[in-house]
């Protein structure tokens, strides 16, 4: 009987495990395998052990990329989630006229393919034929160039915020919808105002969804790729080939033919993301069921 | 006609397996020198008559007609023309096919600057085996140098990009600017134009590796020397200095439009006169005709500005060759096609369809030289371009990892265009980064 029971379990999980192993474990395993070799144009492939890892940890370009996305994470994510929270609360308050329209309108950028969104913003940012250029001309001012090296990260932050506010708003809004309305009634009877309700009921209820949204954003920040890669064609000198870790890994494998080193960078980033996300989850959910 | 020069944005990924299979003989650089002719013209002719199947990977649109005509002439040969992507997309696919050993084309289009990379790992055949050396005088000097390395011939040139000055005559006339004949005059013209009209620039340049290397080439600089796997990168030579000093003036004076090449903005600028000239390869006319229609009739072509007054030196910018992957099983037949497409009938047909020839016969043909271009106000543009082809400075070579080097241009030299350091500094870091990469890849780099 014991054998039979365990077989049934395998039958249920088997298909999942097979696909999981194929599309998840195998690529990671293969990357790990690649990362202990080195292939050169002259001299071929040789086993180098952990040399790629020590190289990565002392690679100034990698560290520059990593600190850039960390800065991005520290600044852009709080702004984006703060705005998403504000919008979610506003829509949930029931005092907003046409909240259905706002919900869809704010979510819409998420439905726009990232490539299209980036190209559109790239055009708006242009100081010659774009919106910024038009503003400069119309008001006779000289706005800062969004695509210059000093401002490009902010400009990318703006694009990402635009893209993902709606998505995060939806996560938070759904968190608010499951709050038992009896709580609001009770609060009203106790004479609590809107802000009191937000502080005492809504925000605590949003703790879980906020953690989820933050983890998604941490992962998203570390994996920043589309926006810099697309804007690179408009501002090639502002975006280096090691702008973010992912851009760097892409450059290494597809232009530098350093597939082994690229795999190493990818694995390090994967582990780093996991650690940051895990630590954040542990700390923020402490004491919650 | 295709655009043969683009930003090297996308990369040629040499796959690991390729190197694992191709590396065994990659470290004996000069082994044996050029191969002796072992396949005669008669053998090639016999293969053409006997027939067979050929797969050709190319994006050049003028080859479509060549393939059709070729099959009429040799009815037993079936040619499959495949567009496997343009430039680096195709190189990536090609490397994968070479590595896998299956799905390999018999003929592939490869740009001049990328050819050394394929030659290095011997993934393209040395055409000396088929007696290609005897065709030296058929091709222009510049293109022949581009397909040859250490006595080996890795492909046949199919087009070329001898450089010339393309300028908007209407804009020049309006501001009474004489056509510059030296770079000194070019800088003066740039200043005069921008002063007269703050919206107009003499040209756009936000940093382009191909353009930079071409100008250094013209100035007589030879920053790259390649002998097998011994490579030197040195941007300190006199030619490079000349370029860096002169071009820095244009950057400092903010006389270059920062519009990035090949974008919509760029074409718009070329059309409305805010980008008043371009110094680029001879393949440009058809691009102007299709991309900047608004300026129809306004553009003209003049010889490339010179580094010394009265000089007659030019450089190449872009252009591509047809090569035979070494692992093709049908190389003799493939060589037959190569010859047909690159010289004689094939070359003529391609020129008729807008390609800029790499062969002397087509280049000097009266009907080619006397062709009047309505877009250029009826000017016989090819006369200027053909003259440029004969004046290309010899002895230039690209790095065997030029695709990569160009990809990091923006990280290094590009900085000078946004005011972070000078061109000189940028070239120095470009050199350092290229050397570092070369060493990592096992080259002996100095």
Is residue A31 in a domain? no
Is residue A180 in a domain? yes
Is residue A141 in a domain? yes
CA B297 to chain centre: 27
- Tell me: pLDDT of B95 over 80: no
**Mutation for testing the A interface, residue in B411, B417, B444 having most A CBs under 10 Å:** B411
In A, which residues are within 8 Å of B30 by CB distance? none
Instruction: Give the gap in angstroms from C-alpha B265 to the nearest C-alpha of chain A.
Output: 7
Could you give the maximum distance between any two Cα atoms of chain A, in Å?
84
Concatenated DSSP letters of B58-108: ---TTHHHHHHHHHHHSTTEEEEEE---STHHHHHHHHHHHHHTSS--SEE
pLDDT digits (tens, 9 = 90+) for B431-446: 999 999 999 999 999 8
Cα first-last separation, chain B: 39
Kindly determine whether residue A256 and residue B27, on different chains, have CB atoms separated by under 8 Å.
no
Residue A287 pLDDT: 59
Secondary-structure breakdown of chain A: helix, strand, coil percentages, each rounded to the nearest 5: 75, 5, 25
Q: How many CB atoms lie within 10 A of CB A74?
A: 10
Is residue A38 in a domain? no
- Tell me: pLDDT of B4 over 60: no
Exposure string of B49-66, with b = 16+ CB inside 10 Å and e = fewer, is: eeebebbbbbbbebbeeb
Is residue A149 in a domain? yes
- Tell me: pLDDT of B29 over 60: no
- Banded model confidence at residue A3, pLDDT cuts 50, 70, 90: low
- Tell me: pLDDT of B19 over 60: no
Residue B189 pLDDT: 97
Q: Read off the tokens for A179.
A: 């709050």
Mean pLDDT of A213-231: 94
Comparing CB atoms, the residue among B92, B121, B414 nearest residue A237 is B414
Q: Describe the crossing of helices B331-342 and B345-352 by its angle, rounded to 10 degrees.
A: 50
- Banded model confidence at residue A271, pLDDT cuts 50, 70, 90: very high
Question: Mean pLDDT over all residues of chain A?
Answer: 90
**Mutation for testing the A interface, residue in B19, B31, B231, B251 having most A CBs under 10 Å:** B19
We report the CATH number of the domain holding residue A150 as 1.10.3720.10
Mean pLDDT of B340-349: 91
Is B378 strand, coil or helix?
Answer: coil
Is residue A8 in a domain? no
pLDDT digits (tens, 9 = 90+) for A106-131: 999 999 998 999 999 998 998 877 88
Is residue A37 in a domain? no
Residue B27 pLDDT: 35
Q: Say which residue the tokens 């396949």 belong to.
A: B39
Q: Which domains does chain B have, with CATH numbers?
A: 16-160+318-380 (3.40.190.10), 163-316+395-445 (3.40.190.10)
- Banded model confidence at residue B90, pLDDT cuts 50, 70, 90: confident
Residue A5 pLDDT: 63
In A, which residues are within 8 Å of B14 by CB distance? 41, 257
Q: What percent of chain B has pLDDT over 90?
A: 65
- Tell me: pLDDT of B411 over 80: yes
- Banded model confidence at residue B20, pLDDT cuts 50, 70, 90: very low
Mean pLDDT of A178-189: 91
Question: Mean pLDDT over all residues of chain B?
Answer: 88
Dihedral class, residue A185 (left if φ above 0, else alpha if ψ from -120 to 50, else beta) = alpha
In B, which residues are within 8 Å of A120 by CB distance? none
- Tell me: pLDDT of B8 over 60: no
Query: Which carries the bigger pLDDT value, residue A259 or residue B271?
Result: B271
Mean pLDDT of A91-97: 84
* Least confident window among A225-234, B10-19, B328-337, B392-401: B10-19
**Within B131-208, where are the H helices?**
141-147, 169-174, 183-196
Domain that holds residue A119: 54-284
Kindly determine whether residue B11 and residue A255, on different chains, have CB atoms separated by under 8 Å.
yes
Is residue A33 in a domain? no
Q: What is the number of structural domains in chain A?
A: 1
- Tell me: pLDDT of A258 over 70: yes
pLDDT digits (tens, 9 = 90+) for A18-73: 999 999 999 999 999 999 999 888 888 899 999 999 999 999 999 999 999 999 99
Q: Read off the tokens for B423.
A: 């061109």
- Banded model confidence at residue B35, pLDDT cuts 50, 70, 90: low
Chain B residue with CA closest to A145: the answer is: B418
- Tell me: pLDDT of A280 over 80: yes
Instruction: Give the gap in angstroms from C-alpha B31 to the nearest C-alpha of chain A.
Output: 15
Chain A residue with CA closest to B117: the answer is: A41
SS3 string, A21-88, reads HHHHHHHHHHHHHHCCEEEECCCEEEECCCHHHHHHHCCHHHHHHHHHHHHHHHHHHHHHHHHHHHHH
- Banded model confidence at residue B408, pLDDT cuts 50, 70, 90: very high
Mean pLDDT of A234-260: 89
Dist. CA A192–CA A185, nearest whole Å: 10
Residue A286 pLDDT: 72
Q: What percent of chain A has pLDDT over 90?
A: 67
Residue B22 pLDDT: 35
Q: Is B224 on the interface with A (CB under 8 A)?
A: no
Pairing of strands B107-111, B52-57: parallel
Kindly determine whether residue A43 and residue B442, on different chains, have CB atoms separated by under 8 Å.
yes
Mean pLDDT of B23-30: 36
């Amino acid at each position: 009987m014991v054998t039979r029971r365990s077989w049934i379990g395998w039958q249920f999980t088997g298909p999942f495990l097979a696909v999981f192993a194929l599309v998840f474990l195998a690529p990671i395993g293969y990357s790990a395998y690649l990362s202990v070799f080195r292939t050169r144009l002259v001299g071929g492939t040789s086993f180098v052990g952990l040399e790629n890892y020590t190289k990565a940890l002392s690679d100034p370009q990698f560290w520059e990329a990593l600190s850039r996305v960390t800065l991005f994470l520290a600044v852009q994510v709080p702004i984006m989630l703060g705005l998403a929270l504000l919008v979610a609360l506003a829509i949930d308050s029931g005092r907003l006229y046409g909240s259905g329209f706002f919900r869809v309108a704010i979510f819409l950028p998420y439905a726009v393919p990232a490539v299209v969104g980036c190209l559109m913003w790239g055009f708006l940012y242009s100081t010659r034929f774009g919106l910024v250029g038009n503003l400069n001309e119309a008001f006779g001012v000289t706005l800062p160039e969004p695509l210059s090296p000093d401002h490009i990260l902010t400009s990318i932050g703006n694009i990402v915020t635009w893209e993902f506010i709606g998505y995060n708003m939806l996560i938070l809004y759904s968190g608010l919808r499951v709050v038992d309305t009896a709580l609001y009634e009770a609060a009203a009877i106790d004479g609590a105002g809107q802000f009191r309700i937000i502080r005492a009921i809504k925000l605590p209820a949003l703790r879980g969804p906020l953690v989820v949204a933050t983890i998604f954003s941490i992962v998203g920040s570390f994996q920043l790729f589309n926006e810099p890669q697309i804007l690179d064609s408009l501002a090639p000198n502002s975006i280096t080939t090691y702008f973010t870790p992912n851009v760097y890994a892409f450059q290494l494998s597809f232009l530098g033919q350093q597939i082994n080193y690229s795999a190493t960078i990818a694995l390090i980033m994967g582990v780093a993301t996991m650690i940051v996300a895990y630590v954040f989850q542990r700390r923020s959910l402490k004491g919650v069921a | 006609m295709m655009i043969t020069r683009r930003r090297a944005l996308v990369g040629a990924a040499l796959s690991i397996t390729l190197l694992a299979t191709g590396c065994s003989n990659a470290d004996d650089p000069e082994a044996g020198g050029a191969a002796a002719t072992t396949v005669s013209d008669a053998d090639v002719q016999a293969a053409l008559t006997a027939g067979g199947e050929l797969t050709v990977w190319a994006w050049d649109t003028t080859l479509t007609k060549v393939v059709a005509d070729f099959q009429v002439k040799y009815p037993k040969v079936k040619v499959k023309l495949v567009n496997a992507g343009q430039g680096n997309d195709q190189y990536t696919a090609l490397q994968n096919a070479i590595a896998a050993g299956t799905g390999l084309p018999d003929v592939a289009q490869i740009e001049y600057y990328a050819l050394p990379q394929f030659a290095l790992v011997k993934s393209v055949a040395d055409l000396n085996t088929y007696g290609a050396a005897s065709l030296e005088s058929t091709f222009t000097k510049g293109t022949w140098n581009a397909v040859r390395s250490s006595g080996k011939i890795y492909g046949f040139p199919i087009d070329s990009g001898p450089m010339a000055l393309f300028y908007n005559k209407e804009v020049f006339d309006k501001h009474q600017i004489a056509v510059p004949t030296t770079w000194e005059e070019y800088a003066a013209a740039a200043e005069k134009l921008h002063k007269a009209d703050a919206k107009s620039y003499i040209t756009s340049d936000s940093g382009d590796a191909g353009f930079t290397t071409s100008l250094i080439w013209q100035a007589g600089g030879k920053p790259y020397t390649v002998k097998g796997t011994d490579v030197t990168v040195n941007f300190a030579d006199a030619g490079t200095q000349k370029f860096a000093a002169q071009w820095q003036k244009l950057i400092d004076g903010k006389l270059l439009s920062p519009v990035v090449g090949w974008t919509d903005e760029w074409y718009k600028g070329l059309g409305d006169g805010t980008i008043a000239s371009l110094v680029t390869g001879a393949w440009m006319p058809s691009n102007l005709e299709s991309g900047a229609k608004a300026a129809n009739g306004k553009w003209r072509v003049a010889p490339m500005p010179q580094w010394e007054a009265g000089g007659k030196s030019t450089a190449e910018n872009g252009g591509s060759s047809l090569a035979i992957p070494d692992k093709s099983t049908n190389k003799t037949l493939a060589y037959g096609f190569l010859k047909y497409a690159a010289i004689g009938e094939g070359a003529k047909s391609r020129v008729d369809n807008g390609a800029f020839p790499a062969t002397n016969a087509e280049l000097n043909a009266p009907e080619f030289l006397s062709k009047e271009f309505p877009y250029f106000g009826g000017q016989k543009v090819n006369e200027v371009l053909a003259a440029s082809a004969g004046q290309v400075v010899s002895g230039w070579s690209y790095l065997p990892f030029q695709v990569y080097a160009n990809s990091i241009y923006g990280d290094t030299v590009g900085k000078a265009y946004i005011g972070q350091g000078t061109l000189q500094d940028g070239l120095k870091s470009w050199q350092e980064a290229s050397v570092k990469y070369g060493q990592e890849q096992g080259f002996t780099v100095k």
